[in-house]
Amino acid sequence: MPSTPATPLQLMDALRTRDATAPRLTWYGPDAERIELSGRVLENWVAKTANFLVDELDAGPGTVVALRLPVHWRSLVWLLAGWTVGAGVALPDTATDDDGGAPAGASGADIVVTDTPGDVPSGPLVVAVALPALAMRWPGDLPRGVLDYAGEVRAHSDVYQSFGSGGTEPLEALVPGLGAAETGRRLLVPGSDGWAAVVRASVGAWVGGGSIVLLDAGVAATDRLRESERV
């Protein structure tokens, strides 16, 4: 029986190799958007993003990546990629600037990943993330020095080669309250529950070999949706 993945690197290996074509992340977004990623495809996105972090942004253990993104499938890719390279990832629910106001952004962050690049003060490296499923580049002009994730990530390798201690921190340390995995469960994860709950539920499902149905904060968990997705 396969061992339970205990680190980000082990989790990525499990997504890539164990029933790799099965759905692992189904996303319901605004305007009736539905995206489904198999384990292999999800891991591929994470690998490309991890390589983007290392090759373009010199990220690694000790780097602080602040996610200024809503709950979204691309946001989870960024979270997993940050962990995979050994970076610290600050989530909007849990980290604030020095004044206690805005979500984690410039203060203390080396890299800010955001869907609103014009709102980030100067200082850290900034990556703009276009959220629509078919976005191949950022729609419009970007502030000077801001990197376009959608326009650049596809050029990076599908395989991430780890170096040093990156990706080896225990998942239990990265996800407070993770608890024991429920094997093979398909779990409904409303974005309206907030980042901390979404991460805990998603990682728990994947560790157990299951899958998630992730809902944008504005999408209702209707009986029809639950029945069609079998959650």
111: part of which helix (H) or strand (E)?
Answer: strand 111-114
Return the amino acid letter for 222. Answer: T
The half-sphere exposure of 18 on its side-chain side, counting CA atoms within 13 A, is: 20
- Three-class SS state of 61: coil
The better pLDDT of the pair 206, 123 is held by 206
Delineate the domains of the chain, giving CATH numbers in brackets.
Answer: 8-229 (3.40.50.12780)
| Token pair belonging to 178 | 């993770």
Residue 117's closest CA among 91, 146, 92? 146
* Interval 133-189: pLDDT, tens: 888 999 999 999 999 999 999 999 999 998 777 899 999 999 999 977 778 899 999
pTM of the model: 0.93
Q: What is the pLDDT of residue 1?
A: 52
* Interval 3-14: pLDDT, tens: 899 999 999 999
* Interval 37-78: pLDDT, tens: 999 999 999 999 999 999 999 999 999 999 999 999 999 999
Q: How far apart, in whole angstroms, are the C-alpha atoms of residue 169 and residue 10?
A: 10
